[in-house]
Structure 1
Amino acid sequence: MTSPKRQEVEERAFDDDSDSDNSEDGTPEEIKLFYDEWDKSQGFEIDFSKLSFCFAWQPLDLDDSTMVDEPQTNRDFIAMLSELALIKHNSDNGTRLELGKILRANFHPSAGITLYISFEVNDPSDDNQTTKPYRAVVRYLAGDIEVHSCKPKPSS
């Protein structure tokens, strides 16, 4: 079941003329700046403060409740999606990683919304107990959740 708030966010993202997917809405310089930011992080750590044009991409305020019904927060929603991504990752790779801290999430409209999530994991088999940065791409469409990827953040 889709949260009415999440449905509203999806509809606003598609209807927002200021950041539509039409490349005619941004100058060549603005479009290049967006792609430079995207290329640096593959969509995960975009610095939106540098951008005036971003093809409807948006950062998600984790402490707000724009995608869920209160008392939940967006952080709760993203944690649920991250857990699903880790379950798939663990199943595919024979690991037992556990979700740590949710760091950030960006999203853009697609068939529903596609979320680019950055988070930390704990590995119980790691004697050093160090957290590791991970990333997941998850598509959400009216209750249908599809994990596209879940993998360690590449080292710089």
Structure 2
Amino acid sequence: MRGKEDDASPKYTPREEYDLINEQIRKSQGFDVDFSKFRCLFDFYPAFLVEENHSTMRTETDRLYFGRLAKEAIADYNTREGTSFEFVEVEKANVYSNSGYIYFITFVAKDPCDQTKVFQAKVCNVLCREIEHSFCRLKPGQQVECDEDSKRVVKKPRYNTRSNKREDVITNVS
């Protein structure tokens, strides 16, 4: 159990908490979990975006670390989608800990028209290996629009990142 228990604390059994957290993880794909409902410790938990370092494996603070991962994710997104979003700040991050870490980072970025959008990035950090950005996307339910023609982002042709071939080109294989 974690935290202090008071009269306002939820009164779920450990099994009910386990089922509830798994339901929230499935529903939001790991990005939106209400940890205030849980007293039990799980291998899925919120990151604390503070100016402290809670890891013995890195030198930067948690806020800087997740910010760096989000900047890398939006740079990959911009390259893939032909856009030019700029990282603003990390809103929150969730961590799944197993034989490494999977980070579910929710962050804000702005487009060339200074409109802010919320993005979600999933980043894997397998112990003793490099960090891999699984995906970066706009948080579902948002649309990207930039009405000023002078600032409109022109999308480049999309490429398959694994083979660097254009997706709309069909190749015959004999």
TM-score over 0.5 for the pair:
yes
Structure 2: stretches of 5+ with no match in the other structure? 2-13, 143-174
Equivalent pairs: percent with the same residue?
31
Distance 1:148 1:54 in 2: 26
- Mapping of 1:51-130 within 5 angstroms? 51-53=38-40, 55-63=42-50, 64-67=52-55, 68-69=58-59, 72-124=60-112, 126=113, 129-130=114-115
Distance 1:51 1:108 in 2: 16
Contact 1:57 1:107 in 2 (8 A): yes
* Counterpart for residue 46 of structure 1: 33
Contact 2:108 2:117 in 1 (8 A): yes
Q: Deviations over 1:31-71 (max 9, x none)?
A: 221123223422112111112346411111110310343xx
Instruction: Report the alpha carbon displacement of residue 99 of structure 1 after superposing the two structures with TM.
Output: 0.4
Distance 2:30 2:97 in 1: 13
Distance 1:111 1:155 in 2: 33
Larger-Rg structure: 2
- 2:118 equivalent to 1:133: yes
- SS of alignment partner, residue 80 of structure 2: helix
Distance 1:90 1:119 in 2: 15
- SS of alignment partner, residue 100 of structure 1: strand
Name the TM-score, length of structure 1 as normaliser. 0.73
Q: 1:36 is aligned with what amino acid?
A: E
Distance 1:53 1:33 in 2: 11
Distance 1:78 1:47 in 2: 20
Contact 2:43 2:98 in 1 (8 A): no
* Counterpart for residue 145 of structure 1: 131
Structure 1: stretches of 5+ with no match in the other structure? 1-17, 19-25
Structure 1 runs (4+) deviating above 3 angstroms are 52-55
Name the TM-score, length of structure 2 as normaliser. 0.66
Distance 2:34 2:40 in 1: 12
Distance 1:155 1:54 in 2: 31
Distance 1:94 1:85 in 2: 14
More helix by share: 1
Q: Deviations over 1:78-125 (max 9, x none)?
A: 01111111111111111111101110111012441000000001111x
* Greater length-normalized contact order (CA 8 Å, ≥ 6 residues apart): 1
